[in-house]
């Protein structure tokens, strides 16, 4: 089975949800009117607001209602799976950095709120951590969603691949000064979990940060199949899912694990 993915590496307008939503909607429509349509579209982290953390209380999408309505409509209309990056989701408990996943029917097939909050960018002052794993399926393929800082916690990724995930979708606003970390960590996560890693970063800058871009598609051997540059762009590639089974058979790390010794 092959799955074609398209990553929208967006230059996010700081604290301007309307502008970002219009930009993303236009880009999705343009992707879906081309001759070779993707099976999955991926958006970056906090794509509606950027890291306008001090105003998230007023900018947050309450219960994700507006995002869910729009992305569900687009997924159903264009018969495409959408990993809708993450947004600031508001609730009575506070604001979470939440990913929504939609299947081809427009149904919400996955939801994950960022577990690991990044103190260096003050996330812990403005966001509540998630409580759930990021497991879902894309056209029957076991998958998982993770958000930015999560990739520094290999045990968190392993918690998903030991439950069958064959593709790890990462959405991020990863800064340029740590670009080398971004690439090294993602390649490592692909190799050690023998899975595809599909990582959509943002482009551009905000008042406090310059972002790295360099969205990546990495195969289960750790080979980079496609890589963007720093500019706003669409990165496309094809996942050959049989390769996951082949690599896991060649080097059977999941059979050879000895988790009783790891604590």
Question: What is the pLDDT, as a whole number, of residue 111?
Answer: 98
Nearest-angstrom CA–CA distance, 81 and 38: 9
- Return the percentage of the chain with pLDDT > 90, whole number: 97
pLDDT at 210 over 90: yes
Query: What is the CB neighbour count within 10 angstroms for residue 175?
Result: 22
Residues 6+ apart with CB under 8 A from 164: 142
Parse the chain into domains and list their residue ranges.
Answer: 2-252
Over residues 213-244, the pLDDT tens digits come to 999 999 999 999 999 999 999 999 999 999 99
Q: How confident is the model over 200-213, as a mean pLDDT?
A: 97
Query: Phi/psi of residue 6, each to 5°?
Result: -135, 125
- pTM here? 0.97
Question: What is the pLDDT, as a whole number, of residue 263?
Answer: 80
Question: What is the pLDDT, as a whole number, of residue 188?
Answer: 98
CATH number attached to the domain at 2-252: 3.60.110.10
114 catalytic? Reply is yes
Which one of the listed residues 111, 114, 173, 200 is annotated catalytic? 114
- Return the percentage of the chain with pLDDT > 70, whole number: 100
Query: What is the CB neighbour count within 10 angstroms for residue 187?
Result: 17
Nearest-angstrom CA–CA distance, 216 and 34: 22
Over residues 8-47, the pLDDT tens digits come to 999 999 999 999 999 999 999 999 999 999 999 999 999 9
Nearest-angstrom CA–CA distance, 15 and 48: 8
Contact 235, 40 (CB under 8 A): no
- Nearest-5° angle of CA 194, CA 150, CA 14? 125
Question: What is the pLDDT, as a whole number, of residue 174?
Answer: 98
Contact 230, 224 (CB under 8 A): no
Under the banding of pLDDT at 50, 70 and 90, the label for residue 252 is: very high
Encode 77-124 in three state secondary structure.
HHCCEEECCCEEEEECCEEEEEEEEECCCCCEEEEEECCCCCHHHCHH
Q: How confident is the model over 103-122, as a mean pLDDT?
A: 96
By the 10 Å C-beta count (0-12 exposed, 13-18 middle, 19+ buried), 132 is classed as exposed
200 catalytic? Reply is no
Contact 159, 193 (CB under 8 A): no
66 catalytic? Reply is no
For residue 250, the number of C-alpha atoms closer than 13 Å in the C-beta half-sphere is: 11
Q: How confident is the model over 61-67, as a mean pLDDT?
A: 97
Which one of the listed residues 89, 123, 148, 200 is annotated catalytic? 148
pLDDT at 121 over 90: no
């Amino acid at each position: 089975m092959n799955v074609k993915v398209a990553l929208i590496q967006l230059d996010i307008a700081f604290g301007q949800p309307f502008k970002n939503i219009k930009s993303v909607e236009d880009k999705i429509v343009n992707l879906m009117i081309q001759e070779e349509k993707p099976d999955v579209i991926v958006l970056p982290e906090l794509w509606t607001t950027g890291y306008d953390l001090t105003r998230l209380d007023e900018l947050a999408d309450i219960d994700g209602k507006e995002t869910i309505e729009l992305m569900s409509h687009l997924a159903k209309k264009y018969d495409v799976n959408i990993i809708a990056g993450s947004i600031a989701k508001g609730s009575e408990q506070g604001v979470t950095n939440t990913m929504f996943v939609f299947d081809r029917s427009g149904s919400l097939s996955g939801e994950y709120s960022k577990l690991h909050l990044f103190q260096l960018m003050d996330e812990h002052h403005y966001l509540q951590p998630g409580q759930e794993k990021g497991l879902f399926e894309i056209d029957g393929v076991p998958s998982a969603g993770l958000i930015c800082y999560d990739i520094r916690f290999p045990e968190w990724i392993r918690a998903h691949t030991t439950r069958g995930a064959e593709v790890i979708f990462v959405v991020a606003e990863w800064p340029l000064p740590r670009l080398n970390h971004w690439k090294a960590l993602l390649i490592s996560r692909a190799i050690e979990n023998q899975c595809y890693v599909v990582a959509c970063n943002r482009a551009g800058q905000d008042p406090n940060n310059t972002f790295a871009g360099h969205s990546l598609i990495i195969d289960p051997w750790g080979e980079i199949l496609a890589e963007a540059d720093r500019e706003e762009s669409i990165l496309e590639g094809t996942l050959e899912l049989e390769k996951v089974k082949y690599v896991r058979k060649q080097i059977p790390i999941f059979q050879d694990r000895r988790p009783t010794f790891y604590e």
